[in-house]
Amino acid sequence: DAKTTQPPSMDCAEGRAANLPCNHSTISGNEYVYWYRQIHSQGPQYIIHGLKNNETNEMASLIITEDRKSSTLILPHATLRDTAVYYCIVRVAYTGNQFYFGTGTSLTVIP
């Protein structure tokens, strides 16, 4: 069963912030939210993960709602190289088993 829901596609203008939403209404208390992206059939690449606090790294920011039922990945200044499929995954870190990927959001950054 799908544990996350993402829009199938989104566009973003180059240089603007890309905000990618994810719904995970059945998330458990010990499950983290992970984001990966896949550029043109390459191997998926880790972006960021978080439990309940907002997180930021050199690639992106992750905003998790207070009830943890949804989150948003933010790419602050999208470039053409950010065009990819973005996957939102919920799983138990440290002791969790697999990474289950859904169909993700296909982000197109427009010049």
Partner 1 sequence: DADVTQTPRNRITKTGKRIMLECSQTKGHDRMYWYRQDPGLGLRLIYYSFDVKDINKGEISDGYSVSRQAQAKFSLSLESAIPNQTALYFCATSDSMNTEAFFGQGTRLTVV
Contacts with partner 1 by CB under 8 A lie at 34, 36, 41-46, 49, 87, 93-104
Judged by beta carbon, residue 37 or residue 68, the one nearer partner 1 is 37
Residue 13 C-beta: closest distance to partner 1, Å: 25
Residue 101 C-beta: closest distance to partner 1, Å: 4
Q: What residues have CB less than 8 Å from 36, skipping those under 6 apart?
A: 44, 45, 46, 47, 86, 87, 89, 99, 101
Judged by beta carbon, residue 28 or residue 45, the one nearer partner 1 is 45
Q: Which 3 state secondary structure label does DSSP give 74?
A: strand
Residue 63 C-beta: closest distance to partner 1, Å: 19
Answer yes or no: are the C-beta atoms of 76 and 20 closer than 8 Å: no
- Tokens 């972006």, residue? 47
